[in-house]
Structure 1
Amino acid sequence: MLTTRHGVRVLAAADLDDFLALADQDPVVNVFAIHRAQTTSLEPRWLGGEMWGRFDGGVLVAACHVAANLVPIQAGPEDAVAFAERALARRRTASTIVGPQDAVQPFWDAVSGTWGQPRDARWDQRHLVIEGPPQVDSDPGVRLTARTDLDLLYPACVAMYTEEVGVSPEAGGGTELYRTRVVQLISRGWSFAKFDRGELVFKAEVACATRDAAQIQGVWVPPHRRGEGLASAGMAAVVDLVQTRIAPSVSLYVNEWNEPARRAYERVGFRETARFATVMF
Protein backbone atom coordinates (compact mmCIF):
# COMPACT_ATOMS: atom_id res chain seq x y z
CA MET A 1 0.00 0.00 0.00
CA LEU A 2 1.27 3.47 -0.85
CA THR A 3 1.84 6.00 1.87
CA THR A 4 -0.64 8.80 1.20
CA ARG A 5 1.75 11.72 1.47
CA HIS A 6 4.67 10.52 -0.57
CA GLY A 7 3.66 7.63 -2.81
CA VAL A 8 6.37 5.44 -1.24
CA ARG A 9 6.02 1.70 -0.74
CA VAL A 10 8.15 -1.41 -0.41
CA LEU A 11 8.93 -2.98 -3.78
CA ALA A 12 8.46 -6.70 -4.37
CA ALA A 13 9.33 -9.28 -7.01
CA ALA A 14 6.43 -8.10 -9.16
CA ASP A 15 8.14 -4.69 -9.39
CA LEU A 16 11.49 -6.06 -10.58
CA ASP A 17 11.09 -5.13 -14.25
CA ASP A 18 10.00 -1.59 -13.41
CA PHE A 19 12.86 -1.23 -10.95
CA LEU A 20 15.43 -2.41 -13.48
CA ALA A 21 14.04 -0.03 -16.09
CA LEU A 22 14.48 2.82 -13.60
CA ALA A 23 18.00 1.84 -12.53
CA ASP A 24 19.07 1.23 -16.13
CA GLN A 25 18.74 4.96 -16.74
CA ASP A 26 22.28 5.06 -15.31
CA PRO A 27 23.54 1.47 -15.26
CA VAL A 28 27.06 2.33 -14.14
CA VAL A 29 26.21 4.62 -11.20
CA ASN A 30 23.44 2.18 -10.20
CA VAL A 31 25.48 -1.02 -10.59
CA PHE A 32 25.19 -1.89 -6.88
CA ALA A 33 21.42 -1.55 -6.87
CA ILE A 34 20.98 -3.46 -10.13
CA HIS A 35 23.25 -6.25 -8.88
CA ARG A 36 21.28 -6.48 -5.65
CA ALA A 37 17.94 -6.52 -7.45
CA GLN A 38 19.00 -9.18 -9.92
CA THR A 39 20.46 -11.46 -7.26
CA THR A 40 17.54 -11.09 -4.81
CA SER A 41 14.49 -10.42 -7.04
CA LEU A 42 13.74 -7.69 -4.46
CA GLU A 43 12.79 -10.31 -1.86
CA PRO A 44 13.37 -8.74 1.61
CA ARG A 45 14.71 -12.00 3.08
CA TRP A 46 17.51 -12.01 0.48
CA LEU A 47 18.04 -8.25 0.49
CA GLY A 48 18.51 -8.26 4.25
CA GLY A 49 16.23 -5.24 4.20
CA GLU A 50 13.87 -3.58 1.74
CA MET A 51 13.81 -1.74 -1.55
CA TRP A 52 11.52 1.27 -1.45
CA GLY A 53 9.97 2.86 -4.50
CA ARG A 54 8.47 6.29 -4.98
CA PHE A 55 5.65 6.59 -7.49
CA ASP A 56 4.15 9.49 -9.42
CA GLY A 57 0.92 8.78 -11.25
CA GLY A 58 1.53 5.06 -10.85
CA VAL A 59 5.01 5.28 -12.40
CA LEU A 60 8.12 4.34 -10.42
CA VAL A 61 10.29 7.48 -10.42
CA ALA A 62 12.89 6.77 -7.70
CA ALA A 63 13.98 4.01 -5.36
CA CYS A 64 16.02 3.46 -2.22
CA HIS A 65 17.89 0.34 -1.09
CA VAL A 66 17.40 0.11 2.69
CA ALA A 67 19.58 -2.49 4.39
CA ALA A 68 23.07 -2.27 5.90
CA ASN A 69 23.75 0.11 3.00
CA LEU A 70 21.13 2.76 2.34
CA VAL A 71 21.45 3.75 -1.32
CA PRO A 72 19.19 6.21 -3.19
CA ILE A 73 18.56 5.25 -6.83
CA GLN A 74 17.67 7.84 -9.48
CA ALA A 75 16.50 10.04 -6.61
CA GLY A 76 16.33 13.81 -6.78
CA PRO A 77 16.21 16.01 -3.66
CA GLU A 78 12.41 15.73 -3.32
CA ASP A 79 12.57 11.94 -3.62
CA ALA A 80 15.35 11.81 -1.05
CA VAL A 81 13.31 13.78 1.46
CA ALA A 82 10.31 11.49 0.90
CA PHE A 83 12.50 8.46 1.60
CA ALA A 84 13.99 10.19 4.65
CA GLU A 85 10.56 10.85 6.13
CA ARG A 86 9.66 7.19 5.72
CA ALA A 87 13.00 6.21 7.27
CA LEU A 88 12.32 8.39 10.31
CA ALA A 89 9.22 6.33 11.04
CA ARG A 90 11.36 3.28 11.83
CA ARG A 91 14.57 2.34 13.60
CA ARG A 92 17.78 3.02 11.72
CA THR A 93 19.25 -0.21 10.34
CA ALA A 94 21.78 1.29 7.93
CA SER A 95 25.44 1.46 8.87
CA THR A 96 26.22 3.45 5.71
CA ILE A 97 24.37 5.95 3.52
CA VAL A 98 26.02 6.13 0.11
CA GLY A 99 25.15 7.39 -3.35
CA PRO A 100 25.07 10.51 -5.51
CA GLN A 101 25.64 13.73 -3.56
CA ASP A 102 22.40 15.37 -4.68
CA ALA A 103 20.39 12.58 -3.04
CA VAL A 104 22.54 11.75 0.00
CA GLN A 105 22.80 15.37 1.17
CA PRO A 106 19.04 16.13 1.39
CA PHE A 107 18.38 12.67 2.88
CA TRP A 108 20.97 13.33 5.58
CA ASP A 109 19.70 16.86 6.21
CA ALA A 110 16.27 15.36 6.93
CA VAL A 111 17.40 12.54 9.25
CA SER A 112 20.52 13.92 10.92
CA GLY A 113 18.69 15.41 13.88
CA THR A 114 17.28 12.00 14.78
CA TRP A 115 19.91 9.54 13.57
CA GLY A 116 22.71 11.14 15.55
CA GLN A 117 26.36 11.86 14.96
CA PRO A 118 27.94 9.76 12.20
CA ARG A 119 31.34 8.17 12.68
CA ASP A 120 32.49 9.78 9.43
CA ALA A 121 30.99 11.73 6.53
CA ARG A 122 32.66 12.04 3.14
CA TRP A 123 30.85 14.59 1.04
CA ASP A 124 33.08 14.76 -2.04
CA GLN A 125 33.85 11.39 -3.58
CA ARG A 126 34.64 11.17 -7.28
CA HIS A 127 32.79 8.49 -9.23
CA LEU A 128 35.11 7.35 -12.02
CA VAL A 129 34.57 5.15 -15.07
CA ILE A 130 36.70 3.60 -17.80
CA GLU A 131 35.03 2.04 -20.83
CA GLY A 132 37.94 1.62 -23.23
CA PRO A 133 41.39 0.07 -22.88
CA PRO A 134 43.77 1.34 -20.17
CA GLN A 135 46.13 4.14 -21.14
CA VAL A 136 49.14 2.59 -19.37
CA ASP A 137 50.70 -0.85 -19.68
CA SER A 138 49.13 -3.55 -17.54
CA ASP A 139 51.19 -5.31 -14.90
CA PRO A 140 51.52 -8.91 -16.13
CA GLY A 141 51.97 -10.08 -12.55
CA VAL A 142 48.40 -9.23 -11.54
CA ARG A 143 46.19 -12.31 -11.59
CA LEU A 144 43.05 -13.85 -10.18
CA THR A 145 43.59 -14.99 -6.61
CA ALA A 146 43.02 -18.54 -5.37
CA ARG A 147 42.19 -20.09 -2.02
CA THR A 148 45.87 -20.91 -1.64
CA ASP A 149 46.57 -17.14 -1.55
CA LEU A 150 44.32 -16.57 1.45
CA ASP A 151 47.08 -16.43 4.09
CA LEU A 152 48.64 -13.46 2.27
CA LEU A 153 45.45 -11.94 0.87
CA TYR A 154 43.27 -11.85 3.98
CA PRO A 155 45.62 -9.70 6.14
CA ALA A 156 45.94 -7.25 3.23
CA CYS A 157 42.15 -7.03 2.97
CA VAL A 158 41.91 -6.30 6.71
CA ALA A 159 44.65 -3.67 6.47
CA MET A 160 43.01 -1.96 3.49
CA TYR A 161 39.56 -1.91 5.11
CA THR A 162 40.93 -0.55 8.38
CA GLU A 163 42.91 2.17 6.61
CA GLU A 164 39.96 3.20 4.41
CA VAL A 165 37.04 2.93 6.84
CA GLY A 166 38.77 3.71 10.12
CA VAL A 167 37.75 0.54 11.97
CA SER A 168 38.79 -3.06 11.54
CA PRO A 169 36.34 -5.42 9.82
CA GLU A 170 37.23 -7.88 12.58
CA ALA A 171 35.90 -5.56 15.31
CA GLY A 172 32.97 -6.86 17.30
CA GLY A 173 33.55 -10.46 16.34
CA GLY A 174 33.40 -9.86 12.59
CA THR A 175 36.40 -11.99 11.65
CA GLU A 176 34.54 -15.04 10.38
CA LEU A 177 32.02 -13.01 8.39
CA TYR A 178 34.71 -10.90 6.75
CA ARG A 179 36.89 -13.91 5.98
CA THR A 180 33.87 -15.58 4.36
CA ARG A 181 33.37 -12.48 2.20
CA VAL A 182 37.00 -12.58 1.03
CA VAL A 183 36.68 -16.27 0.15
CA GLN A 184 33.43 -15.57 -1.69
CA LEU A 185 35.14 -12.95 -3.88
CA ILE A 186 37.93 -15.41 -4.67
CA SER A 187 35.39 -18.07 -5.61
CA ARG A 188 33.54 -15.68 -7.94
CA GLY A 189 36.72 -14.69 -9.74
CA TRP A 190 36.34 -11.16 -8.41
CA SER A 191 39.62 -10.90 -6.49
CA PHE A 192 42.90 -9.79 -8.10
CA ALA A 193 46.41 -9.44 -6.71
CA LYS A 194 50.11 -9.32 -7.43
CA PHE A 195 52.64 -11.14 -5.29
CA ASP A 196 56.36 -10.40 -5.19
CA ARG A 197 58.68 -12.89 -3.50
CA GLY A 198 56.00 -14.07 -1.11
CA GLU A 199 54.55 -10.63 -0.39
CA LEU A 200 51.26 -9.17 -1.63
CA VAL A 201 52.12 -5.85 -3.27
CA PHE A 202 48.81 -4.94 -4.96
CA LYS A 203 45.20 -6.03 -4.66
CA ALA A 204 41.71 -5.05 -5.78
CA GLU A 205 38.27 -6.67 -5.93
CA VAL A 206 35.02 -6.38 -7.81
CA ALA A 207 32.36 -5.33 -5.31
CA CYS A 208 29.36 -5.89 -7.58
CA ALA A 209 28.71 -6.42 -11.27
CA THR A 210 26.08 -6.61 -13.97
CA ARG A 211 26.31 -7.28 -17.69
CA ASP A 212 26.95 -3.55 -18.20
CA ALA A 213 29.34 -2.59 -15.42
CA ALA A 214 31.56 -3.75 -12.59
CA GLN A 215 32.44 -1.65 -9.55
CA ILE A 216 35.93 -1.98 -8.09
CA GLN A 217 36.67 -1.81 -4.37
CA GLY A 218 39.57 -2.52 -2.03
CA VAL A 219 42.41 -1.15 -4.15
CA TRP A 220 45.50 -1.34 -1.95
CA VAL A 221 49.28 -1.26 -2.05
CA PRO A 222 51.26 -1.79 1.18
CA PRO A 223 52.55 1.53 2.51
CA HIS A 224 56.23 0.61 2.06
CA ARG A 225 55.68 -0.18 -1.64
CA ARG A 226 53.76 2.96 -2.58
CA GLY A 227 55.22 5.37 -5.13
CA GLU A 228 56.53 2.57 -7.36
CA GLY A 229 53.72 2.68 -9.94
CA LEU A 230 52.17 -0.54 -8.66
CA ALA A 231 48.69 0.99 -8.37
CA SER A 232 48.42 2.36 -11.91
CA ALA A 233 49.90 -0.71 -13.61
CA GLY A 234 47.91 -2.97 -11.31
CA MET A 235 44.65 -1.16 -12.01
CA ALA A 236 45.34 -1.31 -15.75
CA ALA A 237 45.62 -5.09 -15.37
CA VAL A 238 42.39 -5.23 -13.36
CA VAL A 239 40.59 -3.22 -16.04
CA ASP A 240 41.82 -5.63 -18.71
CA LEU A 241 40.75 -8.67 -16.69
CA VAL A 242 37.36 -7.25 -15.75
CA GLN A 243 36.52 -6.04 -19.27
CA THR A 244 37.50 -9.42 -20.69
CA ARG A 245 35.73 -11.57 -18.12
CA ILE A 246 32.93 -9.58 -16.47
CA ALA A 247 31.67 -6.27 -17.93
CA PRO A 248 32.67 -3.57 -20.43
CA SER A 249 32.50 -0.60 -18.04
CA VAL A 250 34.65 -0.47 -14.92
CA SER A 251 33.84 2.03 -12.17
CA LEU A 252 34.90 3.03 -8.68
CA TYR A 253 34.63 6.01 -6.40
CA VAL A 254 37.49 7.67 -4.54
CA ASN A 255 37.72 10.29 -1.81
CA GLU A 256 38.49 13.78 -3.09
CA TRP A 257 41.45 14.11 -0.71
CA ASN A 258 43.13 10.90 -1.89
CA GLU A 259 45.27 12.60 -4.50
CA PRO A 260 47.75 9.73 -5.08
CA ALA A 261 44.90 7.33 -5.89
CA ARG A 262 43.17 9.89 -8.09
CA ARG A 263 46.38 10.46 -10.05
CA ALA A 264 46.84 6.73 -10.51
CA TYR A 265 43.29 6.27 -11.79
CA GLU A 266 43.65 9.25 -14.12
CA ARG A 267 46.81 7.75 -15.61
CA VAL A 268 44.94 4.51 -16.27
CA GLY A 269 42.19 6.41 -18.10
CA PHE A 270 39.35 6.68 -15.61
CA ARG A 271 37.16 9.77 -16.01
CA GLU A 272 34.79 11.42 -13.55
CA THR A 273 31.07 10.98 -14.26
CA ALA A 274 29.42 11.82 -10.91
CA ARG A 275 30.03 12.93 -7.34
CA PHE A 276 29.19 10.58 -4.49
CA ALA A 277 28.84 11.06 -0.74
CA THR A 278 29.07 8.55 2.11
CA VAL A 279 27.89 8.82 5.71
CA MET A 280 29.13 6.06 8.04
CA PHE A 281 27.87 5.12 11.51
Structure 2
Amino acid sequence: MLRTATALRTLGRQDRQAILDLCASDPVVNVMVAERVELVGAEPVRLGGELWGMFEQGQLTCACWSGANLIPVGRCSEAALDAFASRARRAGVPYSSMFGEAEPVLGLWARLQAAGWRARDVRACQPLFATDRVPEVEPDPLVHRAEPDDLVNVLPASVAMFTEEVGYSPMAADGGLSYRRRVADLLRQHRMFVRRDDQGSVMFKADLGSVSSSVAQVHGVWVDPRWRGQGIAAPAMAAVVLAALREDAATVSLYVNDYNERALAVYGKVGFTRVGTFATVLF
Protein backbone atom coordinates (compact mmCIF):
# COMPACT_ATOMS: atom_id res chain seq x y z
CA MET A 1 0.00 0.00 0.00
CA LEU A 2 1.33 3.43 -0.94
CA ARG A 3 1.68 5.94 1.84
CA THR A 4 0.09 9.35 1.46
CA ALA A 5 2.75 11.94 0.58
CA THR A 6 1.68 14.25 3.42
CA ALA A 7 -0.78 13.68 6.24
CA LEU A 8 -1.76 15.38 9.48
CA ARG A 9 -3.07 13.45 12.45
CA THR A 10 -3.21 13.51 16.23
CA LEU A 11 -0.31 11.57 17.70
CA GLY A 12 -0.88 8.63 20.02
CA ARG A 13 0.88 5.95 22.02
CA GLN A 14 2.63 4.48 19.00
CA ASP A 15 4.25 7.83 18.19
CA ARG A 16 6.16 8.33 21.43
CA GLN A 17 9.60 7.59 20.02
CA ALA A 18 8.96 9.52 16.83
CA ILE A 19 8.07 12.71 18.69
CA LEU A 20 11.01 12.28 21.06
CA ASP A 21 13.33 11.88 18.07
CA LEU A 22 11.87 15.06 16.61
CA CYS A 23 12.41 16.92 19.89
CA ALA A 24 15.99 15.62 20.02
CA SER A 25 16.78 17.42 16.76
CA ASP A 26 17.00 20.56 18.92
CA PRO A 27 16.66 19.61 22.60
CA VAL A 28 17.05 23.19 23.88
CA VAL A 29 14.24 24.52 21.68
CA ASN A 30 11.93 21.56 22.30
CA VAL A 31 12.45 20.94 26.02
CA MET A 32 8.84 21.74 26.99
CA VAL A 33 7.29 19.13 24.72
CA ALA A 34 10.07 16.60 25.33
CA GLU A 35 9.47 16.72 29.07
CA ARG A 36 5.75 16.01 28.69
CA VAL A 37 6.25 13.09 26.31
CA GLU A 38 9.09 11.59 28.36
CA LEU A 39 6.85 11.62 31.43
CA VAL A 40 3.55 10.32 30.07
CA GLY A 41 3.92 9.38 26.40
CA ALA A 42 2.02 10.84 23.45
CA GLU A 43 -1.56 9.78 24.25
CA PRO A 44 -3.87 12.81 24.52
CA VAL A 45 -5.71 11.38 27.52
CA ARG A 46 -2.44 11.32 29.48
CA LEU A 47 -0.88 14.47 28.03
CA GLY A 48 -3.78 16.70 28.97
CA GLY A 49 -3.73 18.04 25.41
CA GLU A 50 -2.96 16.91 21.88
CA LEU A 51 0.10 16.66 19.68
CA TRP A 52 -0.67 17.17 16.01
CA GLY A 53 1.89 15.55 13.74
CA MET A 54 2.66 16.25 10.09
CA PHE A 55 3.94 13.20 8.23
CA GLU A 56 5.72 13.05 4.88
CA GLN A 57 6.09 9.63 3.31
CA GLY A 58 5.26 8.11 6.68
CA GLN A 59 7.89 10.10 8.60
CA LEU A 60 7.05 12.63 11.30
CA THR A 61 8.57 15.92 10.12
CA CYS A 62 7.05 18.45 12.53
CA ALA A 63 4.39 18.71 15.21
CA CYS A 64 2.38 21.14 17.29
CA TRP A 65 1.39 20.87 20.94
CA SER A 66 -2.17 22.00 21.66
CA GLY A 67 -3.05 22.33 25.32
CA ALA A 68 -3.18 25.46 27.41
CA ASN A 69 -0.63 26.77 24.89
CA LEU A 70 0.29 26.20 21.26
CA ILE A 71 3.90 25.08 20.72
CA PRO A 72 5.24 24.22 17.25
CA VAL A 73 7.95 21.54 17.17
CA GLY A 74 10.49 21.11 14.40
CA ARG A 75 11.04 22.75 11.02
CA CYS A 76 7.50 23.39 9.88
CA SER A 77 6.75 23.67 6.17
CA GLU A 78 4.22 26.16 4.84
CA ALA A 79 1.78 23.29 4.38
CA ALA A 80 2.28 22.17 7.98
CA LEU A 81 1.68 25.68 9.32
CA ASP A 82 -1.49 25.91 7.21
CA ALA A 83 -2.66 22.60 8.67
CA PHE A 84 -1.82 23.52 12.27
CA ALA A 85 -3.63 26.86 11.92
CA SER A 86 -6.69 25.09 10.59
CA ARG A 87 -6.67 22.60 13.45
CA ALA A 88 -6.20 25.38 16.03
CA ARG A 89 -9.19 27.28 14.63
CA ARG A 90 -11.37 24.18 14.73
CA ALA A 91 -10.20 23.16 18.21
CA GLY A 92 -11.89 26.12 19.86
CA VAL A 93 -9.43 26.03 22.76
CA PRO A 94 -8.93 29.27 24.75
CA TYR A 95 -5.13 29.22 24.45
CA SER A 96 -3.28 31.45 26.89
CA SER A 97 -0.23 31.79 24.64
CA MET A 98 1.79 30.42 21.76
CA PHE A 99 5.55 30.16 22.05
CA GLY A 100 8.62 28.39 20.76
CA GLU A 101 11.14 28.87 17.96
CA ALA A 102 10.41 32.24 16.37
CA GLU A 103 10.04 31.23 12.73
CA PRO A 104 7.24 28.66 13.11
CA VAL A 105 5.53 30.62 15.89
CA LEU A 106 5.35 33.80 13.84
CA GLY A 107 4.35 31.86 10.73
CA LEU A 108 1.51 30.19 12.62
CA TRP A 109 0.50 33.50 14.19
CA ALA A 110 0.31 35.21 10.78
CA ARG A 111 -2.22 32.61 9.67
CA LEU A 112 -4.30 32.83 12.84
CA GLN A 113 -4.24 36.62 12.78
CA ALA A 114 -5.46 36.57 9.19
CA ALA A 115 -8.34 34.38 10.39
CA GLY A 116 -9.36 37.05 12.90
CA TRP A 117 -7.47 36.03 16.04
CA ARG A 118 -6.27 38.84 18.29
CA ALA A 119 -3.34 38.98 20.72
CA ARG A 120 -2.64 41.03 23.81
CA ASP A 121 1.05 41.10 22.97
CA VAL A 122 3.45 39.67 20.40
CA ARG A 123 7.06 39.29 21.50
CA ALA A 124 8.72 38.50 18.22
CA CYS A 125 12.36 38.40 19.33
CA GLN A 126 13.30 36.59 22.53
CA PRO A 127 16.94 35.47 22.52
CA LEU A 128 17.32 31.82 23.55
CA PHE A 129 20.39 31.03 25.66
CA ALA A 130 22.04 27.84 26.88
CA THR A 131 25.08 26.74 28.84
CA ASP A 132 26.65 23.45 29.85
CA ARG A 133 29.56 24.98 31.75
CA VAL A 134 30.25 25.93 35.34
CA PRO A 135 29.23 29.60 35.71
CA GLU A 136 31.83 32.32 35.25
CA VAL A 137 30.51 34.13 38.34
CA GLU A 138 30.95 33.02 41.95
CA PRO A 139 27.59 31.49 42.97
CA ASP A 140 25.61 33.01 45.82
CA PRO A 141 25.76 30.39 48.63
CA LEU A 142 22.45 31.60 50.08
CA VAL A 143 20.42 30.62 47.01
CA HIS A 144 18.68 27.31 47.69
CA ARG A 145 15.80 25.14 46.53
CA ALA A 146 12.58 26.08 48.25
CA GLU A 147 10.54 23.42 50.02
CA PRO A 148 6.81 22.62 49.76
CA ASP A 149 6.22 24.24 53.15
CA ASP A 150 7.47 27.54 51.73
CA LEU A 151 4.34 28.11 49.62
CA VAL A 152 2.93 30.98 51.68
CA ASN A 153 6.27 32.80 51.67
CA VAL A 154 7.16 32.35 47.99
CA LEU A 155 3.71 32.82 46.45
CA PRO A 156 3.80 36.66 46.64
CA ALA A 157 7.12 36.71 44.77
CA SER A 158 5.76 34.35 42.11
CA VAL A 159 2.64 36.48 41.68
CA ALA A 160 4.74 39.64 41.40
CA MET A 161 6.95 38.02 38.76
CA PHE A 162 3.98 36.81 36.69
CA THR A 163 2.16 40.13 36.91
CA GLU A 164 5.24 42.09 35.87
CA GLU A 165 6.04 39.75 32.99
CA VAL A 166 2.58 39.05 31.57
CA GLY A 167 0.70 42.20 32.51
CA TYR A 168 -2.06 40.89 34.75
CA SER A 169 -2.29 39.04 38.04
CA PRO A 170 -2.56 35.24 37.89
CA MET A 171 -4.77 35.46 40.98
CA ALA A 172 -7.59 37.11 39.03
CA ALA A 173 -8.75 33.88 37.38
CA ASP A 174 -10.49 31.23 39.56
CA GLY A 175 -9.38 33.04 42.70
CA GLY A 176 -5.80 32.09 41.99
CA LEU A 177 -6.35 28.37 42.58
CA SER A 178 -4.69 27.25 39.34
CA TYR A 179 -1.66 29.45 39.80
CA ARG A 180 -1.30 28.48 43.45
CA ARG A 181 -1.39 24.85 42.37
CA ARG A 182 1.30 25.52 39.75
CA VAL A 183 3.60 27.11 42.33
CA ALA A 184 2.91 24.24 44.75
CA ASP A 185 3.88 21.75 42.03
CA LEU A 186 7.18 23.56 41.44
CA LEU A 187 7.91 23.41 45.16
CA ARG A 188 6.95 19.75 45.39
CA GLN A 189 9.35 18.97 42.54
CA HIS A 190 12.08 21.13 44.14
CA ARG A 191 12.23 23.30 41.02
CA MET A 192 12.12 26.73 42.65
CA PHE A 193 15.25 28.51 43.81
CA VAL A 194 15.09 31.43 46.23
CA ARG A 195 17.34 33.90 48.03
CA ARG A 196 15.93 35.61 51.11
CA ASP A 197 16.86 38.84 52.86
CA ASP A 198 17.57 39.13 56.58
CA GLN A 199 13.84 39.41 57.34
CA GLY A 200 13.04 36.22 55.43
CA SER A 201 11.42 37.91 52.43
CA VAL A 202 12.18 36.53 48.96
CA MET A 203 14.58 38.88 47.20
CA PHE A 204 15.35 36.55 44.26
CA LYS A 205 13.56 33.60 42.70
CA ALA A 206 13.90 31.41 39.63
CA ASP A 207 12.10 28.25 38.54
CA LEU A 208 13.04 25.25 36.45
CA GLY A 209 9.89 25.45 34.38
CA SER A 210 10.74 22.52 32.10
CA VAL A 211 13.18 19.67 32.68
CA SER A 212 13.73 16.97 30.07
CA SER A 213 16.31 14.20 30.17
CA SER A 214 18.91 16.56 28.69
CA VAL A 215 17.84 20.18 29.29
CA ALA A 216 16.61 22.24 32.25
CA GLN A 217 14.94 25.47 31.20
CA VAL A 218 14.83 28.35 33.68
CA HIS A 219 11.60 30.36 33.90
CA GLY A 220 10.25 33.04 36.19
CA VAL A 221 13.48 34.84 37.11
CA TRP A 222 12.63 37.73 39.42
CA VAL A 223 14.44 40.15 41.70
CA ASP A 224 12.52 42.22 44.24
CA PRO A 225 12.52 45.81 42.92
CA ARG A 226 14.06 46.97 46.20
CA TRP A 227 17.17 44.90 45.43
CA ARG A 228 17.58 45.61 41.74
CA GLY A 229 20.79 47.24 40.64
CA GLN A 230 22.69 45.95 43.67
CA GLY A 231 24.49 43.08 41.98
CA ILE A 232 22.59 40.12 43.40
CA ALA A 233 21.18 38.72 40.14
CA ALA A 234 24.35 37.33 38.55
CA PRO A 235 25.60 35.42 41.64
CA ALA A 236 22.06 34.14 42.27
CA MET A 237 21.68 32.95 38.67
CA ALA A 238 25.11 31.34 38.86
CA ALA A 239 23.91 29.34 41.87
CA VAL A 240 20.81 28.23 39.97
CA VAL A 241 22.83 27.16 36.93
CA LEU A 242 25.40 25.28 39.00
CA ALA A 243 22.74 23.38 40.94
CA ALA A 244 20.75 22.55 37.80
CA LEU A 245 23.85 21.26 35.99
CA ARG A 246 24.81 19.09 38.94
CA GLU A 247 21.37 17.71 39.76
CA ASP A 248 18.92 18.14 36.86
CA ALA A 249 20.35 18.14 33.33
CA ALA A 250 23.52 18.50 31.28
CA THR A 251 22.37 21.79 29.74
CA VAL A 252 20.60 24.80 31.25
CA SER A 253 18.63 27.17 29.02
CA LEU A 254 16.37 30.20 29.19
CA TYR A 255 14.85 32.83 26.92
CA VAL A 256 14.34 36.53 27.55
CA ASN A 257 12.73 39.55 25.91
CA ASP A 258 15.23 41.31 23.67
CA TYR A 259 14.47 44.68 25.28
CA ASN A 260 15.40 43.45 28.78
CA GLU A 261 18.94 44.77 28.66
CA ARG A 262 19.61 44.22 32.36
CA ALA A 263 18.71 40.51 32.13
CA LEU A 264 20.73 40.08 28.93
CA ALA A 265 23.79 41.49 30.68
CA VAL A 266 23.33 39.18 33.67
CA TYR A 267 22.97 36.05 31.55
CA GLY A 268 26.01 36.93 29.49
CA LYS A 269 28.03 37.50 32.64
CA VAL A 270 27.02 34.11 34.04
CA GLY A 271 28.20 32.38 30.87
CA PHE A 272 25.10 31.75 28.76
CA THR A 273 25.54 31.66 24.97
CA ARG A 274 22.80 32.59 22.52
CA VAL A 275 21.66 29.54 20.56
CA GLY A 276 18.49 30.75 18.85
CA THR A 277 15.43 32.98 18.98
CA PHE A 278 12.03 32.35 20.53
CA ALA A 279 8.78 34.24 20.03
CA THR A 280 5.74 34.43 22.27
CA VAL A 281 2.18 35.45 21.43
CA LEU A 282 0.03 36.24 24.47
CA PHE A 283 -3.74 35.90 24.03
Is TM-score (shorter-chain normalized) higher than 0.5?
yes
Give the aligned partner of residue 29 of structure 1: 29
Please report the TM-score for the alignment, with normalisation by the length of structure 2.
Answer: 0.94
Deviation at 1:115, TM superposition (A): 4.5
CA separation of 1:190 and 1:171: change in aligned 2, threshold 3 A: same
CA distance in 2, matches of 1:236, 1:193: 12
Moved more, 80-89 or 270-279: 80-89
CA distance in 1, matches of 2:202, 2:9: 47
Select which of 266, 269, 272 maps to 1:267. 269
Give the conservation status (yes or no) of the 8 Å contact 1:6–1:82: no
1:18 maps to 2:9: no
CA distance in 2, matches of 1:147, 1:23: 31
Give the conservation status (yes or no) of the 8 Å contact 2:214–2:250: yes
1:83 maps to 2:92: no
Q: What are the equivalent positions in structure 2 for 1:1-281 lying under 5 Å apart?
A: 7-78=7-78, 79-197=80-198, 198-281=200-283
Deviation at 1:6, TM superposition (A): 5.1
Overall identity of the aligned pairs, in %? 40
Deviation at 1:5, TM superposition (A): 9.1
Give the conservation status (yes or no) of the 8 Å contact 2:32–2:210: yes
CA separation of 1:148 and 1:80: change in aligned 2, threshold 3 A: same
Find runs of 4+ consecutive structure 1 residues off by over 3 angstroms: none
Give the conservation status (yes or no) of the 8 Å contact 2:215–2:251: yes
CA distance in 1, matches of 2:241, 2:70: 27
Unaligned runs of 5+ in 1: none
Moved more, 162-171 or 38-47: 38-47
Moved more, 201-210 or 4-13: 4-13
| SS at 1:88 equivalent | helix
Deviation at 1:41, TM superposition (A): 1.0
CA separation of 1:174 and 1:248: change in aligned 2, threshold 3 A: farther
Deviation at 1:10, TM superposition (A): 0.1
Deviation at 1:187, TM superposition (A): 1.2
CA separation of 1:14 and 1:174: change in aligned 2, threshold 3 A: farther
Give the conservation status (yes or no) of the 8 Å contact 1:67–1:93: no
Deviation at 1:45, TM superposition (A): 2.2
Cα deviation digits, residues 39-80 of structure 1 (max 9, x gap): 221121232220010000000000110111100000334232
How many residues end up aligned between the 2 structures? Answer: 278
| SS at 2:91 equivalent | coil
Amino acid at match of 1:238: V
| SS at 1:173 equivalent | helix
| SS at 1:272 equivalent | strand
Amino acid at match of 1:119: R
Give the conservation status (yes or no) of the 8 Å contact 1:77–1:106: no
| SS at 2:173 equivalent | coil
Amino acid at match of 2:75: A
CA distance in 1, matches of 2:179, 2:220: 13
Deviation at 1:17, TM superposition (A): 0.7
CA distance in 2, matches of 1:115, 1:43: 31
CA distance in 2, matches of 1:248, 1:214: 8
RMSD: 1.5
Unaligned runs of 5+ in 2: none
Amino acid at match of 2:164: E
CA distance in 2, matches of 1:172, 1:201: 26
